[in-house]
Amino acid sequence: TVVNMEGDVKFGVANWAGPLFSVSGKGITFNGNGHTFDGQGPSYWDGQGGNGGVTKPHPMMKIKISGTYSNVKVLNSPAHTYSISNPAKLVMSKLTIDNSAGDAPNNQSGGKAAGHNTDGFDVSTTDLTIEDSTIRNQDDCIAINKGSNIIFQRNSCTGGHGISIGSISTGATVQNVQILNNQIINNDQALRIKTKADATSASVSGITFSGNTATGTKKFGVIVDQGYPTTLGAPGNGVKIS
């Protein structure tokens, strides 16, 4: 099955759980042809993201296909951009996520960046490749919370919280992840493994970071944090990293 976008999509504004767009199926070729899904983030942004303030539809985009998904631009997601739960192998490529307008404060955000929790990709899946894409946001470029056989390569991440394994919760397993040849620009941290302090019966293994370049990093180039949600707090011992 082939899906071709033939124009831009601008969503209306409503305070509900979302998602704004969902696609599911097996063996799908989804080609955005360079067109844009506009989530109208500035109509929601208040510096609080999913932690409070107005209800924001998130994730904006829920992808539940196998096959390919390419050449799609997402502009101004209200909060999290992509949630991915592919039923079989999926390659996502040549994507743009542009939440850079959320870097500036607005009259609701108390002097902070108006965009918040604008994660690029939230991943809890298997057999996924994300490549050759550009992400500008205010949170994790990608957060891999559980899953295996995941490749994230040749991407550019600007302005957010970097590339993250986790946060890892009780019972979660992450294994065989390759983070390759990415550019991480002006992020709080570049490469991070974060596990929750109270997590038990969880593991992280077979993680490869290779060929990545970070510039303008504000806090940590590489951090392994086992006390999440605090940073450099008392670590838990319920997540094995190997």
For the stretch 51-106, pLDDT in tens is: 999 999 999 999 999 999 999 999 999 999 999 999 999 999 999 999 999 999 99
User: Which residues belong to the active site?
Assistant: 161
Strands 183-185 and 213-215: parallel
Which domains, ranges and CATH numbers included, belong to the chain?
A: 1-109+121-139 (2.160.20.10), 140-232 (no CATH)
**What span, in angstroms and rounded, lies between the C-alpha atoms of 173 and 204?**
6
Q: What is the pLDDT of residues 16-59, one digit of tens each?
A: 999 999 999 999 999 999 999 999 999 999 999 999 999 999 99
The CA-based diameter of the chain, rounded to the nearest angstrom, is 52
- Provide the whole-model pTM: 0.98
3-state secondary structure of 239: strand
